[in-house]
Amino acid sequence: MTVVVDAHAHVIVPGIGAEVRWDERGQVVELDGKAIRAAVREFVDLDRILEEQDRAGVDRVVLCPWVNLVGRQTARQNEALAAMVGPRVAALGTVDLERPDELVELMRDGRLSGVEVAASVGGDYLGHDRFAGFWAAAEEARALVFVHPTTRGFGIEALNDYYLWNTAGNPLETTITAAHLTMAGVLERHHGLRVLLAHAGGAILSLRGRLRHSHTFQPDARARLSESPVDSLRRFYLDTVTHEETLLEAAIEFAGADHVLLGSDYPFDMGLERPAEPVRALGLAPEDEALVLGGNALRLLDRGSRSEP
């Protein structure tokens, strides 16, 4: 029987700075003086989250912090996340990317399966040299590293209209950091990295031809990356949050069924309420469908596995 694993779901640990309440219009999350209503399902209580996962047809869920809380009170958050881990729950923690020792200690503890990281930190994207120690530690520890956009990562006024900060801005930020990691040669230097990109990598697959072409002549990229950028791009793992059948098909065709993980972006309005349904609708070969629905996630959560492509 195929195990369905939601590898992209969020939870808020109480006491880290975000206040969550419900009113007659739904759930409200308040942080740093701002209120959001984009989280439309349970965000805090684990029992209720698992009830929501039952309704979604999910057998196991990988919980990680709301990205706005990544890097805050890391020890406290990680301990609370680790306490949620059980037969149906795996979890990703949060660390300071400039303290690789924090990641090493977290992974040595063994309760968490990796970390969620923001697509940019202090204005720097993830291929920056300041994060070199983190990537080396992540490879050595076989940590699953989930890259998620920061939300409102750009100071572009037009993105304030029509929810574009989410629909366009979020995947754009993931696209930029994936390209940055690729052209900086991070994935070429660290073949053992397990890096999962939110929202199927944003628009990164649409740009692979441009990245490949630029690499034929651009001296900075050629100095850091010897292989084709496309080879590095194929080392990423992608989630299934595309909202478009043809895009999901394209992601699986490019990355391979062994590099795509089911995701819902729970509990947000831009998420998928029943994430397995779009995958099943594709009519994949049974073995490929089983990999995407849960097999790939289970393999990556098992840090002892050495059989990855």
Q: Please tell me whether the overall predicted TM-score, pTM, comes out greater than 0.85 for this model.
A: yes
Confidence of residue 309 (pLDDT cuts 50, 70, 90): very low
Does the domain spanning 5-14+46-301 belong to CATH 1.10.1060.10?
A: no
Question: Residue 32 contacts by C-beta under 8 Å, 6 or more apart in sequence?
Answer: 17
**Given a cut of 60, is residue 152 above it in pLDDT?**
yes
The mean pLDDT of 246-250, rounded to a whole number, is: 97
Residue 185: name the closest of 221, 135, 133, 145 by CA: 221
Q: Domain locations in the chain?
A: 5-14+46-301
Q: What is the pLDDT of residues 40-72, one digit of tens each?
A: 999 999 999 999 999 999 999 999 999 999 999
**Given a cut of 60, is residue 112 above it in pLDDT?**
yes
Residue 240 near residue 278 (C-beta atoms within 8 A): yes
Nearest 5°: phi and psi at 147? -95, 120
Tokens 């990109």 sit on residue: 197
**Given a cut of 80, is residue 11 above it in pLDDT?**
yes
Tokens 């002892």 sit on residue: 304
Q: What is the pLDDT of residues 192-212, one digit of tens each?
A: 999 999 999 999 999 999 999
Task: Please provide the average confidence, as pLDDT, over all residues in the chain.
Answer: 95
